[in-house]
Amino acid sequence: MAVVNTKATAITNADAKPPVKSSKDIMNGMLKECVGTAEVANGDSIGSTYRLCRVRSSERISQVLLSCDAITTCAGDVGIYQTNDNGGAVVDADFFASALSLAAALVNSDVTHEADAADAGAGFGLADVEKPLWQALGLAADPVRDYDIVVTLTAAAASAGTIAGKVKYV
């Protein structure tokens, strides 16, 4: 075993001679937030989608919080979709969370890295925290577009309720 001293990018940049200015995405950036709610109806089936928030491909995601009423038997993925203007297709349905139970009420549950924790290497992982969204998605270049943060049902709803999302980003 060895004792190591490892630095995050912002610290490495600050300690460099001469110092290197870090991107506002990882140091002293302005935290922004988008929020949204959607209503789930009793009988909404697997594959139903609820678009909650919209973020730009160049933004770095800090946190994804999900709240909901207790929606009997319901579960869902939390992921990334193209906007309707870009065709509306799924990019990564469970980028943040996979088959998350919505059957019990949630209050600001942090689902940012749930998919990665459940399936190491999948979804938005710890290695992605300094990356803009387009890099975290594994794209070769910034497509300069918006993406929707979406809950997709993986288990049908046997009752009605509200889903709310908060996405914090820089």
Question: Do residues 118 and 158 share a domain?
Answer: yes
Number of structural domains (the chain) is 2
Question: Do residues 67 and 135 share a domain?
Answer: yes
Question: Do residues 111 and 54 share a domain?
Answer: yes
Q: pLDDT tens digits for 53-76?
A: 999 999 999 999 999 999 999 999
Cα torsion through 78, 83, 89, 92, rounded to 10: -30
Question: Which token pair is 102?
Answer: 């919505």
Question: Do residues 154 and 87 share a domain?
Answer: yes
Question: Do residues 3 and 39 share a domain?
Answer: no
Question: Do residues 23 and 43 share a domain?
Answer: no
Question: Do residues 112 and 41 share a domain?
Answer: yes
Single pTM value for the model: 0.88
- Angstrom distance (rounded) from CA 137 to CA 133: 6
For residue 20, give its domain range.
Answer: 1-29
Question: Do residues 15 and 48 share a domain?
Answer: no
CB within 8 Å of 127: residues ≥ 6 apart? none
- Angstrom distance (rounded) from CA 109 to CA 82: 24
Helices (H), 1-153: 9-15, 114-118, 133-136
Question: Do residues 111 and 62 share a domain?
Answer: yes
Q: pLDDT tens digits for 96-128?
A: 999 999 999 999 999 999 988 766 557 898 889
b/e code 28-64 from CB counts within 10 Å (16+ = b) = eeeeeeeebebebeeebeeebbbbbbebebebbbbbb
Question: Do residues 65 and 12 share a domain?
Answer: no
